[in-house]
Amino acid sequence: VDFVQFRLGADGQDKLVEALAGVDCVFSAVTPHVQLATVEQFEMTNHAGVHALAQACVEARVPRLVHLSSTAAKSHYFHAVNASEADPMPPLDTYESPYDITKRLGEEAVLEVARGNSVAACCIRCCGILSSPWDFCMNGLWPVIPGLIIAPIGHKTDFIDGRDVCRALLLAAQALEGRRQEVSGEVFNVTKGDSKAPGEINSYAARL
C-alpha cells in the first residue's frame, strides 16, 4: 500500500490528480472529527474536499468512485422511520448542523460527476458505525468510575458494524463496474434493518 500525503485546502489540485493516476476505483471515506471539528473544517473536508476529489477523479480518468456519506445528509433533525432512497431531501435552508449540510453538499458533488458520465459514481449512506472501542459511537461508553457504565437512553438510530460498511463499499464498486446504468448516480442506504438507542448499546456492552 502506498500512502500519499495530501492536505485539504493547502495542497494544489494537480497533486491530487497526480496521486490518482492509474487508479481503478476511489473509495472516499473522509470527514473531520464529528464532535470537535469547526464549521470551517466541515466545509473544507465534507464539501470542498469531496468536490475536489470528485473533480480530480474526472481529470485523472478514474473509472469508479464510491463515496461513503451519512444519513446526516438528510439532516439529523429530520426523523425518518423506514426511510428509503426515494424519500425527498429536506430543503437546504432547514438544516441546522454544519456537519449535516456539508455531508449533503459532498454527496451532491459526487453525484454531479456521475451525471456528467465521466466517472461511474455512487454514494453509500449509513449511520452509527461501530468500528472500535474508541470510535465516535463507543468512546462515551467507558466509565469515569471503574465498573460503572452510565447508559442514558437517547433517540433510536441505526448502528452498523464497520466491517459491514466495508462490504457495502466493495459491493458498490463491483456494481459500478458490472451494472453501471443501474448504480451510477444513485444513493444507497446501508442498514442492518433494526435501530437501537445509544443507551441500549451501552447496556449490552455492560452485560458483557
pLDDT digits (tens, 9 = 90+) for 20-56: 999 999 999 988 888 889 999 999 999 999 999 999 9
Mutual orientation of helices 50-59 and 98-115 as an angle, nearest 10°? Answer: 10
Q: Is the separation of the CB atoms in 66 and 121 below 8 Å?
A: yes
Q: Report residue 139's pLDDT band, with 50, 70 and 90 as the boundaries.
A: low
Q: Report residue 106's pLDDT band, with 50, 70 and 90 as the boundaries.
A: very high
Residue 179 grid coordinates: 451494472
Is pLDDT larger for residue 75 or for residue 119?
A: 119
What pTM was estimated for this model as a whole?
0.85
Q: Is the separation of the CB atoms in 4 and 19 below 8 Å?
A: yes
Q: Is the separation of the CB atoms in 80 and 24 below 8 Å?
A: no
Q: Report whether pLDDT(87) > 80.
A: yes
Distance (Å) of CA 76 to CA 4, 72, 101, 127, 157: 33, 5, 10, 10, 10
